[in-house]
Structure 1
Amino acid sequence: MNTPMRKRGLLAATLGLALSLATGAALAQTALADIQKNKLVRIAVPTDFPPYGFVGVDMAPQGLDVDMARLIADKLGAKLELVPVSSPNRIPYLQSKKVDMVISTLGKNPEREKVINFSAAYSPFFQGIYAPKSLKVSSVADLAGKSVAVTRGAIEDQELTRVAPAGTDIKRFEDNNATVSAYVSHQTQVIATGVSVAEVMMQRNPALGTEYKVLLKESPNHIGLAKGEDALLAKVNEIIAQAKAAGELDKLSQKWLKRPAGNLPQ
């Protein structure tokens, strides 16, 4: 093959690769267009994590995250399909496109940012260590030699794993109900969980004498979106910014957490 023909062949191959990459990028950016076309948005929410998401007496999902999903769907002009998820499967549901976004007490961290995108924060949250008043736990160092219940894959699991001293017996359970049940039934001495779960647990089990001991992590909630869906991410951030300015985020937080959302991070 002569040199001009080689050059033409190389140019054709280069153009073909560029077109293929451009087509792939275009195909990846379809979530917002699909939602607008079908007038339907599928949002993953918790149903075992009051007051963020739980099943009411009428067997319908309710809570702060459920209300936030309704707000997002309304602003998108789409019908809402709620998809119940647990902590371990919420990100896989997003990656496998079973849902368009995740609104399920999702905290942002570097590991998760490698596989999904995060919106601006929409509600406050923090994780802590809780134990009976009679048990001395004034720092994470005091967890050595003690058993701690935690939900597998949750941000408190990741943080506890990072800071727990050698000799801490971390017992992981598949969802929040199982984690709470393990602690309440004295399978563990300590529980690491979010403040909302702890408050409900303490209200329902006053005889345990449980109290807050140590802060694990401040972790405001963000909406999770698939990598590559920049148009949907921008639209969701726009909705959150407008809801924040209008006081809607403060109203949701006040309704479910008895405190305003406050100055949430982007």
Structure 2
Amino acid sequence: MKSVCSIAAEIITSRGSHSSAAARRLGAEMCKELKTKVLRLMPHAANGPMVHQEGQTDGAEILTCTVKALKEGHIVAVPTDTIYGLACLAQNSEAVRKTYNIKGRNGQKPLAICVGEIQDIYEYCKVKVKKELLHDLLPGPVTLVFERSEVLNADLNPFTSLVGVRIPDHTFMRRLCQMCGEPLALTSANISSHTSTIEVHEFQELWPKLAVVVDGGPIGDHCRLGSTVVDLSVVGRYRIIRPGCAFSSTVDVLERKYGLSQDLRDE
């Protein structure tokens, strides 16, 4: 497992800005203050099989380390199928509060939850659509908004009766949720109002506040739009809250296959 100080030196060296001595010096300076673990997932080679390179960590080891950090109430950074995110246990009120503080996020803006399997959605949400619809959209780059169930932490988004739920099309994230055995609260890995991130170095200013940063490499098609967020809390209707990166395909499924009508009510 790599520490922040060693990763910092690698980033500077890889960018070619400054000498290796400067990189080592900065790494040493950061090491005095940070205890963050930066763990690199093994990427897939172009032709399919996994290849191991120096500095990368076995996926099982990363999962174990990340789950431990989450269970201890810490905040972690993780790759998803859209952008990098910050995650904590949704049922841990103190961890939720810390997530808002790290981002500088408006307390009236909700956090989504992330689960590993479609069946998990029914425990934390009151679902009013066919199960087949969930299977058509999930896992994928879509956040579905439902009425929350009483099981979900009352301190998570206490200002609304709704909650957005995700199942990213990302093996690591799904397995992480499964191993935690409870939902993760998930939000973008950036300072609030700043650009979303698709590489870990882009939110490096947040590293000191995180227990683990999981480096899954550059994400997706680099669109930075995040997931498409759609409200399905009203029977027979849908409302797009954020167009995101899967707008057209999501609307096509909702209207053509399931006959839902767009809800144009005011926010």
TM-score range, shorter chain: under 0.3
TM-score scaled by structure 2?
Answer: 0.27
More helix by share: 1
TM-score scaled by structure 1?
Answer: 0.27
Larger radius of gyration: 1
